Amino acid sequence: MLILISDAFDKSLPDKLRVFGEVTDDTSRLKEADVVLIRSKTKATKEYIDEAANMKLIIRGGVGMDNIDRAYCDQKGIISTNTPRSSAIAVAELAFCMMLSTASKIVYYDNTMKAGEWNKKTKRTELFGKKLALLGIGNIATKVAERAKAFGMEIVAYDKYVKSSPVATMVPTVEDAVRDADYISMHLPLTDETKEIMNASLISKMEKAPVIVNTGRGKCVNEKDMAEALQSGKVSWFCTDVYSSEPPAKDENPLFACPNTTFSPHVGANSTENLLRIGQEVYDTIEKYVKEGKIR
């Protein structure tokens, strides 16, 4: 068996996987690979899948699988899967960090202190008592909710496919979720239903000017509409780790011209601990399919 590691994983992973066969990071050997490991950089399009003539299993290290043409994999008899449990803590901590840093104006205070200012007039706010709306209530959002509860926040969630949650009060529509929210944290997969779900129409339903955090998928936000909402004050702050195209072109993405934004370069899953967890889940997945005789 040849395992191709196409994107960046923990450096310890190749040695762990050699129990199954040969391991390489030489992408020119894609045609030979039985198993291909990717993260967000590699796009497993039809053309990519056709080039991987020997591929039987492709694993996305992380949660979202919109960079894999799963329907075409199914058509070709290729197993496509991910590591859904590994990234929950790392991404949740980033989302919560963004909320905390916005409430406490950490970026502002840091910038003004470095500029020689001693600005005590600008006040912080607290997360305590504020309403958090979660869009999606999967593994990551559940971890966010657990942290928000510890801070004394009120938590509601909208998820079309989830009826109840032990950590949040479920509401029937996305409009109900965002209507009077102080903070909105987005944890949605990219589907036809969720593409640009955060748009001018939904923003118009918001009674407050919330802080919106997106650590899910960039294309779930209409960036033009978000930029206009930031300029008008309809949204007080926008924090994002993900973009409609990555890396984003600063001169083309309207968000970079907006006030009250916090950006990070799609690093939600990039904690040292999480890369180790992803590697273990990859190992367990390969072992499972070997034992089942689906790959060899």
pLDDT tens, 130-171? 999 999 999 999 999 999 999 999 999 999 999 999 999 999
Helix (H) or strand (E) holding 80: strand 79-82
Pick the catalytic residue: 47, 51, 193, 246? 246
DSSP 105: T
33 pLDDT above the threshold of 90: yes
158 DSSP β-pair partners: 135
Residue 25 confidence (pLDDT) = 96
31 pLDDT above the threshold of 90: yes
Residue 193 · residue 220 · CB < 8 Å: no
Q: Which residues contact 111 (CB under 8 A, 6 or more apart)?
A: none
Share of residues in the chain with pLDDT > 70 (%): 100
* Token pair of 158 as six digits: 């909208």
DSSP 57: E
Closest Cα partner for 240 from 267, 259, 209? 267
Pick the catalytic residue: 217, 223, 277, 281? 217
Residue 179 confidence (pLDDT) = 98
Residue 73 · residue 80 · CB < 8 Å: yes
240 pLDDT above the threshold of 90: yes
DSSP 206: -
Reply yes or no on whether 266 is catalytic. Answer: yes
Residue 63 confidence (pLDDT) = 85
Residue 84 confidence (pLDDT) = 85
Pick the catalytic residue: 39, 266, 277, 281? 266
Q: What sign does the CA torsion over 190, 202, 88, 103 have?
A: positive
Reply yes or no on whether 217 is catalytic. Answer: yes
**How many of the other CB atoms lie within 10 Å of CB of 39?**
21
| Residues 178-204, mean pLDDT to the nearest whole number | 97
Pairwise CA distance, residues 37 & 9, whole Å: 9
| Residues 50-79, mean pLDDT to the nearest whole number | 94
DSSP 234: S
Residue 104 confidence (pLDDT) = 97
Q: Where are the alpha helices (DSSP H) in 104-235?
A: 106-114, 139-150, 174-178, 200-203, 223-232
